[in-house]
Structure 1
Amino acid sequence: MLCRNFLLLRSVVGDKEVFEGFAILSSCCEGRMEEGAIMEERVIEVAGLAHSFGRVWALKSLTFHICPGEQVALLGPNGAGKTTLVNILGGFLRPTRGRVRVLGVETDRLGPSQRAQMGFVFQERPGLYPDLTVGETLDLFRGYYRNPVSTALLLEALGLTDKVRRFVRHLSGGERRRLELAVALVGRPRLLFLDEPTANLDPEGRRWVWERVETLAGEGVTVLLTTHYLSEAERLGRRILLLREGALLFDGSPQDMVARAGLPHHIRFHLPGGALPPDLAPRARAQGEGWVLQSHAPLEDLERLRQWGAEVFQVQGPSLEEAYLTLMREERHGLSPEPSA
C-alpha cells in the first residue's frame, strides 16, 4: 500500500489523470508481487533456439535470457522472425531445436499456473468478442483467474469507465486497444507480451499506451514488446533484441546499439572569422549561414571549435532509427542459410 499512497499523493501535485491511473495499476500489481516475492532469476531463457517451416529457417540458433522486470524491445524488418519467436515464447509453437524456458518451465509444458502469470496483446490475433460489451468482456476474462483485478479498477485504470456498456464492435481502434490491454492485465501478469501495441493509434493514443506500459514496468512486470516504431522502442525498451533473417544481430541497450552503428554526431556552428580550423575542414560543410561538422569525438571537436572562436548552437547525436538502418545495411556476417547442427 505504500506505493499506492505515494502515487496518489503525487496526483495532487503532478499530472492528475496520469498519476491517478498509475495508482490504480499499482494496486493491480500488488497481489502478484506479494504472491511471487521470490522470483526466478530468469523469466525467459533461450538456448540454441532454431525453428524451420519446411526448408526455411525462421530462427537460427538464438541464445539470450530476460530477467524479472526488464523492458525488452524486439526489433527487425518483416520476415526477421519476431512473430515466430513470440509464438514460441508464448507456448503457441513448438521449436524445432533448442531449449526455451518461460517462468521456469519448458514452453511445451506450460500449464495453467504459468499461463495465469502471462498477458498478451496481439496485433493479428484478435481476442475480443464483438457482441459483448466492455464490462461483459472483462467479467468473462476475470472468470479464468483465481485472483483477478476487479472490473471497476480496470475500467478506471484504462480509461474505459464511460464505455462499460458499449459493445466491442462499436469501439474505436484506440478503445479496442485499451480493452485488449485491460484483458491482458486482468490476471495480474508477471510477464507481458505486447505485439505492435500502438499500431494504427493516433499520437495521443500511442503516448497513452506508453505511459501505462511504463507504469507496469515500474511495478516489476517484465515486458517484451515488438514494434516498428523506433521512437517507441527507444522510449519503452531498456534493452533491444535485433533480429535479421532469423539471427540475433544485436542484444543490448539502445545507447549501445547507437554506438555499435558507429555513426557521427553533427555539430552546427557559426564561425565569425570565416576560416575553418585546417584539421576540421575536411569534415565540415556549409549550411545556410553556418557550418555542420561530422564528429566521432564530439567533446574533442567542441573544444577545438571553441578555441577557434566558433559559436556552437547545436550538437545532435545519431538516433536509434539511424542506427537501426545502418545495422540492417551491414554485411551479413555469420548469417548462414540454416543453423549448425
Structure 2
Amino acid sequence: MVEAASLEKRYGSVHALRGVSFRLEPGERAVVLGPNGSGKTTTLEILGGFLQPSSGRAWVFGVESTRLSPRERRYMGFVFQDKPGLYPELSVRETLELFGGYYPSPIPPVQLLEGLGLAERQNRRVRHLSGGERRRLELAVALVGRPRLVFLDEPTTGLDPEARQRIWGLLAGLAQNGMTFILTTHSLEEAERLGQRVLLLKDGELLFDGPPQTMIARSGLPHRISFRKFGEHLPPSLASRAVADGERFTLNSLRPEEDLLALRESGLDLADLQVRSPTLEEAYLALVRGGVRVQDATPAG
C-alpha cells in the first residue's frame, strides 16, 4: 500500500528527514509520533506526492509518489494542517456534495454530517464555521470518496473532547472496513486508541517502528507493583527495590511475572495487590529523551 525507502529531505543545511524507511500493508493503521520539527508532516507530504524528496523514493499503490495520477488519487484522502481547500461561500452540505461528485460512489453527506456532529450546521456557510467545525468538515471531505488510504496530519488538534471522540469512533469504524490510514498526532491517547503501529521520529530519524505495546516493552521502563503488607518483612531480593509508604509498598520491576511469583511464594499477608504497566506516553518520553534506536521491532513484510 505504502513504501518509503531511505527518504531524505534537506532544506539547505537543515535535515528534515534522514534515511526514513518503512512499509504499510493494506488495512494498517499507523500513527507517526515525534516532537515538533521531527519530520512528521514532511513524511506525509512526500508520501502524498506534494513534496519532492532530496533523495530516496516513496510509492503508493505501487506508483512512485512523485508520479501519482488522478487515477490513484481518487482512492486517497488528505487532511493537512495548511491545505484546507474549502470554499468559504458554500454551505457545509454543498461542500460535501461538490467533493462527493468527483467520486463514483461517495458516502452520503448525511452519514458523514451525523458521524462528525455537523448535521445541525449543514446549511451554514463555511466562512461562518468555528475552527473546530471547519476541521471536522475537512475530515469529511477527505472521507467522502470512500478512500482506501487516508493521510491525516494532526486531525483533532484544537477540537473539544466530544469532537475528538466522534472522529476516533468514525475512523475506527472505517478502519474495520479495510481503510488504511497514517496520521500524525501529539496526543498519546489518540495514538493508543487508533494506532496498530507507531512510527517514532526524532530530528528526521526513525527511532522506532512497531506496535505500541512493543514500543512500551522496548523502552526499558519498569512495571510498578504495589500492595499492602502486614507482619513479616519482604524477602531481601524484593526489599532492596521496594519503597514504603505506611503499610503500602511499591516495587519497580522489569520482570513483573517473576516478582509476582516471588511475592506469592513468600507467604506474606498481602492485600490490595496492583500492577501498573508503563504507559505509551512514558515510553515515548523515554525513547525521545534517550534517542535510543529500536528499529529491530519493525514488522516483517
Instruction: Kindly state the Cα deviation for residue 207 of structure 1 after the two structures are TM-superposed.
Output: 1.2
2:122 counterpart letter in structure 1: V
State percent identity of aligned pairs.
58
Instruction: Kindly state the Cα deviation for residue 250 of structure 1 after the two structures are TM-superposed.
Output: 0.5
Deviations along 1:45-71, one digit per CA (max 9) or x if unpaired, are 111211111122211111111000000
> Going by fraction, where is helix more abundant, 1 or 2?
1
Deviations along 1:257-315, one digit per CA (max 9) or x if unpaired, are 00110110001111101522211011110124311000111111112222332224211
Candidates 325, 331, 336, aligned match of 2:285: 325
1:265 counterpart letter in structure 2: H
Q: Which residue of 1 aligns with 2:298?
A: none
1:191 counterpart letter in structure 2: L
Q: How does 1:8-47 map to 2 (within 5 A)?
A: 43-47=1-5
Q: Is 1:316–2:276 an aligned residue pair?
A: yes
Q: Is 1:83–2:46 an aligned residue pair?
A: no
The TM-score normalised by the length of structure 1 is 0.81
Moved more, 140-149 or 203-212: 140-149
1:250 counterpart letter in structure 2: F
1:282 counterpart letter in structure 2: S
Q: Is 1:280–2:230 an aligned residue pair?
A: no
Alpha-carbon distance in 1 for matches of 2:115, 2:218: 39
Alpha-carbon distance in 2 for matches of 1:215, 1:222: 12
Deviations along 1:209-239, one digit per CA (max 9) or x if unpaired, are 1111101110100010100001110111100
Q: Is 1:103–2:58 an aligned residue pair?
A: no
1:168 counterpart letter in structure 2: V
Instruction: Kindly state the Cα deviation for residue 333 of structure 1 after the two structures are TM-superposed.
Output: 6.6
Moved more, 119-128 or 95-104: 119-128
Alpha-carbon distance in 2 for matches of 1:289, 1:201: 43
User: Which 5+ residue runs of structure 1 have no aligned equivalent?
Assistant: 1-42, 335-341
Q: Which residue of 1 aligns with 2:97?
A: 139
Alpha-carbon distance in 2 for matches of 1:201, 1:148: 26
> Going by fraction, where is strand more abundant, 1 or 2?
2
Runs of at least 4 residues off by over 4 Å: 331-334
Alignment check: 8 A CA contact 1:267 1:312 kept: no
User: Which 5+ residue runs of structure 2 have no aligned equivalent?
Assistant: 295-301
Alignment check: 8 A CA contact 1:44 1:103 kept: yes
Task: Mark the CA change 1:183 to 1:288 in structure 2 (over 3 Å): closer, same or farther.
Answer: farther
Q: Is 1:265–2:223 an aligned residue pair?
A: yes
Alpha-carbon distance in 2 for matches of 1:131, 1:63: 42
Q: Which residue of 1 aligns with 2:297?
A: none
Q: How does 1:226-241 map to 2 (within 5 A)?
A: 226-241=184-199
Deviations along 1:42-101, one digit per CA (max 9) or x if unpaired, are x10111211111122211111111000000000111111111111101100011111210
RMSD over equivalenced CA pairs, Å: 1.7
Q: How does 1:1-341 map to 2 (within 5 A)?
A: 43-273=1-231, 275-308=233-266, 309=268, 310-331=270-291
2:288 counterpart letter in structure 1: M
Task: Mark the CA change 1:66 to 1:126 in structure 2 (over 3 Å): closer, same or farther.
Answer: same
Task: Mark the CA change 1:179 to 1:285 in structure 2 (over 3 Å): closer, same or farther.
Answer: same
Alpha-carbon distance in 2 for matches of 1:202, 1:150: 25
